[in-house]
Amino acid sequence: MERDGAGLAALATLLADPTRATMCLALMDGRAWTATELARHAGVAPSTATQHLNLLVGGGLLAEVRQGRHRYVRLAGTPAADLVERLAAAAGDAGRPGAEPAAPSSLTTAHRRRALAAARTCYDHLAGTLGVAVTDAMTARGLLSWDRGLVLTDEGDRWMSALAGGWPPESRRPLVRSCLDWTERRPHLGGAAGAALCAHAVDAGWLVRVRRSRALRLTDAGRTALRERLGLELPPAG
């Protein structure tokens, strides 16, 4: 790759604008937003939003789908989402990688924060304390091994098969991947297995999405299922 920083700078420039950064963070919920939704969310005129979205799509950070008169836009993929999340995590440390997180500025944000910290999606897999707890439980049960990088054990493979149909997936995506959690500062399960697990949890009603957020709420059924399948004891909803 090139030794000059032009490419790096070009990529960073995409996120170096508050409006674009706000848009990308909003898209971290994994859904597709329309251009006007993003414009209102970021507090700019629609024409301005168009320009920003052109840049982000052109830069490969976002993918778009035109449907009728709507322009739907979403994060381009897991790497893009990882990038945004990682940068946001580093930026969240009061601008100091290594400092403690800033106190929530308001009650609503505190509530939001707590909900997000408890359980949320990280693009397409589980994150937050729940994501870490599930990952830990899977490790304790021998479904995951961290000996030489993160791998799914044979037992873990059987466990996934029993959990969800269509396992293993055909995609060339790595089965498992370690993803650093920005609230827990600990790794949780990403990759195809993480995505499949999350998808099943939502399909089966273990988790329900909280509107306009990437927070998740654990249902009673989910609590029971996780206890039965992983021996994971979770406190009732707070």
Which residues fall within 8 angstroms of residue 147, CB to CB, at 6 or more apart?
none
CB nearer a second copy, residue 65 or residue 102: 102
Q: Note whether 152 binds a second copy by CB under 8 A.
A: no
Q: Count CA atoms closer than 13 A to 17's CA, side-chain side.
A: 16
Binding site partner of 99, from DNA, a second copy, none, Cβ cut-off 5-8 A by kind: a second copy
Name the minimum Å distance from CB 108 to DNA.
Answer: 24
Tell me if 81 sits within 8 A of 122, measured CB to CB: yes
CB nearer a second copy, residue 14 or residue 130: 14
Rounded to whole angstroms, the Cα distance separating 28 from 88 reads: 11
Q: Note whether 7 binds a second copy by CB under 8 A.
A: yes
Binding site partner of 4, from a second copy, DNA, none, Cβ cut-off 5-8 A by kind: a second copy
State both tokens at 206.
Answer: 């273990």
The residues binding DNA (CB under 7 A) are 13, 16-20, 34-37, 39, 43-55, 68-71, 171-174
Q: Note whether 110 binds a second copy by CB under 8 A.
A: no
- Residue numbers 84-103 binding a second copy by CB under 8 A: 84, 86-88, 90-93, 95-102
Q: Note whether 11 binds a second copy by CB under 8 A.
A: yes
Name the minimum Å distance from CB 231 to DNA.
Answer: 31
Q: Note whether 56 binds a second copy by CB under 8 A.
A: no
DSSP letters, 149-161, are BSEE-HHHHHHHH
Which residues fall within 8 angstroms of residue 9, CB to CB, at 6 or more apart?
none
Q: Which of 97, 116, 135, 114 is nearest to 25 (CA)?
A: 116
Question: Can you say how many angstroms the Cα of residue 31 is from the centroid of all Cα atoms in its chain?
Answer: 11
In the numeric block, the tokens 């697990």 are attached to 197
Q: Note whether 204 binds a second copy by CB under 8 A.
A: no
| Region of 5-13, 65-73, 133-141, 146-154 interacting with a second copy (CB under 8 A) | 5-13
Which residues fall within 8 angstroms of residue 151, CB to CB, at 6 or more apart?
144, 145, 176
| Region of 13-21, 31-39, 199-207, 214-222 interacting with a second copy (CB under 8 A) | 13-21
